[in-house]
Chain A
Amino acid sequence: MSAQSQPALVARDIHKSFGQLEVLKGISLDAHEGDVISILGASGSGKSTFLRCINLLETPDSGVVTVAGETIVMRKKRGGGMEAADHHQVDRIRAELGMVFQSFNLWSHMTILQNVIEGPVHVQKRPRAECIEEAEALLEKVGIAGKRDFYPSHLSGGQQQRVAIARALAMRPKVMLFDEPTSALDPELVGEVLKVMRALAEEGRTMLVVTHEMGFARNVSNRVMFLHKGLVEAEGSPKELWEGSKSERFRQFVSSQHH
């Protein structure tokens, strides 16, 4: 699957505690180009926290994150814990990672088009005309053509999420991070978003997807990681996990997800 010598994304031994509660007890992940990795687990297993540690929306207490060969430099913080040593580096790496949130998080004071071009124009400083052209192509790709001057509050949940995906794609990211992208949607709107995600996977995008959608995990991703209480309980290809997993917990988890 991957012909690169260098993985697109490496997370090594990530630990994270919130106060007394240790949520991540040492999670590691290697993502090669084209990998579509589903991250599964019960609530409280730490899967969203792990994803957010990758683009430093949460700061890991220990561990290393490397994106396209560049390691995020950390240093000790006064009063304990770690922090990023170089904010510019963090901003730069975040621009190479595209994140899609559970609650879409489109900027409510901007139109759809403005949302999609905001990053390319102001963060990447690309020429505006080029960004607009690309944005419109992306909006068409995710199925929201013709709504460029609408505001987020005028769209349905499914539409907003698809715009959020276009917004992330507009940054031409190396890796896409999805944090439970369909969990906040009404059931009938989930399908349209999964369809877009599937198309991206088939294009060869590198994707990390925290999800409850078993169908996606089993049929679209090429690797699955199952977290339990802050540790990796099972890992492998969907076939390995669904058909031959030695983990009792995983089997219990799958059967509890009624899909």
Chain B
Amino acid sequence: MESTFFVDLLWKLLQALPLTLLLFILAIALGLVLAIGLTWMRVGSNPILTRIARFYIYVFRGTPLLIQLFLIYYGLGQFAFVRQSFLWPILREPFNCAVLSLALCTAAYQAEIFRGALLAVPLQQVEAARAIGMSRLLMFRRIIVPIMIRQALPSYTTELVLMIKSTSLAGLVTIKEMTSIASTESRSSYRTLSVFLVVGAIYLILNFLLSRILGYVEHRLSPHLRVMPEAKRPQPTLVG
């Protein structure tokens, strides 16, 4: 009796898992693109663009994700001009609204992370690059961005974990991701705690895998912080 319930539940959840992951990946990817644009506006020299970016970040970080989601899903569909536009086939779908909303939100958080990472790039290393005559583009590509990525990784990992959790809100706009399955199952079976334990465990495993992957990336990107390798046999040198 017991085991069939759990097997059933697990099966339902695993069917919902790809949806969760798809939401996550699309939102992060779209959010990343938006965040790059936002950061460029934020740290650029155009004061108008800077203000727009600052306002965007302020709004999307200062309001709950849920209200942003409902605004897009229920709010936009309210207007005739939206329903008649070419965007409507896209915006009509709850999945697309969810991805869009999640992406807009994470873009704001990611932009802040990038800005912090940019500020943390040591000025001395930038000066060294200038001193050997690197063009600005080359310097950006070879020095600044690599350092930024390393600086941003820890906060970025946190943001990714937050995004996995945020996918759960999609359930409130009819998408059958894992948390919504959990809520239907627990209501119909009155086994709230067991359902919670199973679903929670899946999310924790996802987070664990995510942290591991990013930890590996961080490790690969920072050989300079690791223990020195064994010195090789001395090569003949110019001096002695």
A touching B, CB within 8 angstroms: no
